[in-house]
Amino acid sequence: MARVRFLADFDWWPTTTSVTAHKAGQELTVRRACADQAIAEGKAVEIDPPPRAPEDAAPQEPATDG
């Protein structure tokens, strides 16, 4: 799996009968084969995944006004 940002619309055909359409501007985790093809065609760049919250962090409660 790889995290990519699509620079242009990109259709990935994992099989001959199915297609996954990705739109320019999307940041997604995709299969490595999809990422490699999109990067090779200049339609995506690999990016770092967003930071994960620590598992022991308590959920934040919304602030209230008094």
* pLDDT classification of 62: cutoffs 50, 70, 90: confident
Structural domain boundaries of the chain?
Answer: 2-46
Q: What pTM did the predictor assign?
A: 0.75
Backbone Cα Rg of the chain: 17
**pLDDT reported for residue 59:** 67
**pLDDT reported for residue 14:** 92
pLDDT in tens, 7-55: 999 999 999 999 999 999 999 999 999 999 999 999 999 999 888 877 7
**pLDDT reported for residue 53:** 79
**pLDDT reported for residue 51:** 87
